[in-house]
Amino acid sequence: MGRVAAPDVVTLSGTEKPLAQIYDVALLDLDGVVYVGQHAVAGAPEALRGARELGMRLAFVTNNAARPPRTVAEHLSALGIPARAEDVINSAQAAAHYLAERLGTGARVLVIGTVGLDEALAERGLTAVHSADDDPEAVVQGYSPELNWAQLAEGAVAIRRGIPWVATNVDPTVPSPRGPLPGNGSMVAALRHATGATPVVTGKPDPTMHRESVLRSGAQNPLVVGDRLDTDVEGANAAGCPSLLVLSGVTSAAELLAAPPLLRPTYLAEDVGGLLQAQIAPTLSAEGASCGRWSVHLSRDANLTLTARSGGAVPDGAVPDGAVPDAMAALRALCAAAWRRAAADGRDAGRIGPVRGADAPAVVVLTSLGLAGPA
């Protein structure tokens, strides 16, 4: 089943049952996993309904601190994913919890962000203020699509006084139908440049966020589900929690192949429909790796060559010849080969050479993954 990422772990894990039957709570990232902008990721409502039918509870965990949990829950419900405010955990709540433990009830905190931060602070007995002239004891900064120069200026004045500065996250981008847009990390970078200070970050991948998610969801055996290696997967690994990476958001297949050990997921799926599937683990060999009907040869110069095996029995989850290629099985095999070479010779996984398809089915699946090279 699951495993904790470590430098000597070079393969993805497998399961005999669907993930939704193994883990009690899915800690689901939102942007790029459940929705992009105002619209659900294709198939997500149906997949999450299916996960619930298999007994899995859902908690929606996001680094985006712009909206209060009730607003997020209303959005999810409108998309066909029934949710209550208490099902939503955001980085504003983690930041407020962190500050309350250190400042005590009634402390004044300057907010650089939206009402989501104001409400999270109030829940913990803290007082939100919006001017450096209000004598704040700390500054908290979260994502806001309406963030302006005036808010940044107030933050700069307060931060220069030497008071604590907490950022809900430092994600450089947020996904959108038009492509990645500037995220909270980009705005945090502006204040870092202006003040020379560095904030405490309480969102993913910091364990503070995972603690908040487990506390609020009551999870006993959680599975982190996300689309980012540097927040969702890294945060899960830091907390010793298994993770499912989905490719419906910002992470590409090439980035996954190049991932260092602590950014490697436990499981891999195209989207959250992976919760309804058993996971096929890749098998390592002297020449490379295999998974389903796919085999990967790793040459001495670190090039990867993918081949579709024909004939013989087709393992569960693989696709018979003539059908659409099983891209995820191919990618699992590619990851196993690339990560094994990185572990074997100390090579940076990001230096793995070109990926090639040795036959027509392989070229098709590599093209679908954005990895196509010459045959």
**What tokens appear for 113 in the block?**
């962000």
Task: Please indicate whether residue 316 is annotated as part of the active site.
Answer: no
Q: Name the active-site residue from 31, 118, 206, 326.
A: 31
CA distances from 177 to 30, 248, 249, 252 (A): 14, 12, 10, 16
CA distance 375 to 372: 9
Amino acid at 37: G
Question: Which residue, 70, 63, 55, is CA-closest to 220?
Answer: 55
Q: Name the active-site residue from 29, 87, 206, 232.
A: 29
Beta-carbon-side half-sphere exposure of residue 153 (alpha carbons within 13 Å): 4
Residues 213 and 89 sit within 8 Å (Cβ to Cβ): yes
In degrees rounded to 5, what are phi and psi of residue 215?
-60, -50
Strand partners, 316: none
CA distances from 171 to 63, 175, 252 (A): 8, 11, 16
Residues 126 and 96 sit within 8 Å (Cβ to Cβ): yes
**What SS3 class is residue 261?**
helix
CA distance 374 to 135: 63
Strand partners, 139: 110, 165
SS3 content of the chain, % helix, strand, coil (to 5): 35, 20, 45
Task: Please indicate whether residue 29 is annotated as part of the active site.
Answer: yes
**What tokens appear for 243 in the block?**
């993770």
> Checking DSSP bridges between strand 294-298 and strand 288-291, what pairing results, if any?
antiparallel
Cis peptide before 205 (omega within 30 of 0): yes
**Catalytic residue numbers, as ranges:** 29, 31
